Amino acid sequence: MPDLGDVRALSFDCYGTLLDWRRGVREAAAEVRSRVGADFERLKREREHFDA
């Protein structure tokens, strides 16, 4: 864990303008799928259901 004593500001990017959060979600889902054989399409549908 880095030493946070010198941190002077935090920035939160909610809409993917600085960080590609969609790619992060895809990569995390792919890792879950490879580890436990999760049905990615089902995960995607469930996520879309809750985003609506």
In a domain, 6, yes or no: no
Domain that residue 26 falls in: 17-51
| CB of 37 closer than 8 Å to CB of 29 | no
Over the stretch 18-29, which tens digit does the pLDDT of each residue have? 778 788 888 887
Cβ-proximal residues to 43 (8 Å cutoff; 6+ apart), any chain: 29, 32, 33
Low-confidence ranges of the chain (pLDDT < 70): 16, 52
Q: Which whole-number Å values give the CA distances from 14 to 6, 32, 36, 51, in the listed order?
A: 24, 23, 29, 14
Tokens of 29: 């889902």
Query: What is the greatest pairwise CA distance in the chain?
Result: 43
In a domain, 21, yes or no: yes
In a domain, 7, yes or no: no
What count of Cα atoms within 13 Å lies in the side-chain half-sphere of residue 6?
2
pLDDT of residue 52: 67
Domain tally, the chain: 1
